[in-house]
Every structure is written in structure tokens, then in C-alpha cells.
Structure 1
Amino acid sequence: MAEDKTLKVQKSDAEWRDQLTPEQYRITREHGTERAFTGPYWDKFERGLYRCVGCDKPLFVSDTKFDAGCGWPSYFKAVTPDAVTEHRDSSYGMVRTEIRCGDCGAHLGHVFPDGPPPTGLRYCINGHAMVFEPE
């Protein structure tokens, strides 16, 4: 992942590797994706807050989580407008909107326009990119 000088959290590659598990590093720093129905949180619906595994920034609250049937944790909105940033992703012959952490730039997943009201959005997020804080 190219370094973004505007990010609030800046770490070296070595620091990221020391902090994250190999799977967390692959997903958040190398734009990886966990296999559907295998990551943490896809089938968990306890009340609480989901934070970025890289910098602890609040990302999503359980009140916005829904079962999209896709095998990844899905939310209809981020906790705050600056929690995530959107980026064009044209990999694998598709055009999608990638979602990254607003503070450390960690790759989280993608957002799609097929979610429930009130936003109509589906933030499809890799569970390994987050840490859950129970209420």
C-alpha cells in the first residue's frame, strides 16, 4: 500500500508486521480478502462497537449491522462520516468502491448500493480488519 502523508496514523512496514497477525496484515496492508463465512464477526450480532485493527478508530456500531447473506460482516453506515474513506477499485476486471480506515488507511472491504434502508448501502467488511468491543 502506498504511503499516504495525509493519514493521522503513520507506521513503517516493520511496525505494521509486528502489530498485526499475518492474516490481518495481508488484508489491511495488502488489500486482501478473507474467504466468505470464515472471518470473525460475519455471524456475530452482539451489541457493541467495531474498531480498526490497525489504529483502534471506531468504524461501525452493531445497531447498523445486518445479515446480508454474503459471508462478511455488513453494515448500512459507518459510525461517523470520517470513519472510512472511499477509493475507486478496478481490480479483477470490476469497478467497485473500496473502503479504508479514515485514520490509518487500512483496507477494510467495499461498499455496494444494495443495502437496506435508511442508506441503501452495504459496507461489506473483512472481519480480520476489525476488533470488536462489546457494549
Structure 2
Amino acid sequence: MSEFLTNLIMSLVTGGYMGIVVSKAVAFSNLKKEALRIIRTIDTLGPKGNYFHNTERVKELPLLSSELLGLKHQGAGRELMRIFNAVNKEIYTPSEDPSLRSKILEESQVTVRKLKPSKKPLFNPFDLSL
């Protein structure tokens, strides 16, 4: 009976721990996907010429960055804020070179796709923040 109890407790502890890790990974992945979705909606073709259009949701990027920082993914949060700054600058003070806008969008998408979660907060069993 004691062996059964030991196995049951160990199963509950390891299962609970893995559930927390998976939940943290899913939260990171969802934030990353939402940031990528926002960047992909930005368009450079529109009635005003070759400038950024459909930028209403860009202001959500700092919120996503803040959420990443709250989950203790410092590198990913800073990168997302850097992307926001570059896109926002191009929205409000567009450059004369249209290829720069395409480059910003392309690099932003690549950077967001490559964002990695910080391993320490992801696997920390004592940090239950989601």
C-alpha cells in the first residue's frame, strides 16, 4: 500500500510540474503568435501610396511586450519593444525609401518567429505566474 501511495504522490507532483511548464510555454507561444499576427496585418500598399497601412493594432505590441516581461522572458520582451519602436517610427515619420519599410516588416517577422522563451522562468517550479 505504501508503494502505491508513493507512486501516486510522485505522479501527481511530476504531472503537476509538467502541467505548469506546458502552461507557461503555451502562454509564451500565444503572445508570440499574436505579435506575429499584428505585424503581418501591416500593409505597404494603399490609397496614400507606399506607406504603412492597417496599423491600428501596432499599439498592442507594447502590451504584448509587457506581458512577456511579466512572464520573465526579458529578451523576448525587449525584442518585441524594439520592433514596436522601429515600426512606430516608420508610421509617424516615414522614410523616403520604400524598401526600408519592406525590410522592417521582413526583419520584424523573422525576429518574432525566432523569439525563444527564457529557460529559467519556464522551468522554475516555484514561479507559478501565468
Structure with a larger share of its residues in strand: 1
TM-score (norm: length of structure 2)? 0.26
Higher-Rg member (1/2): 2
TM-score (norm: length of structure 1)? 0.25
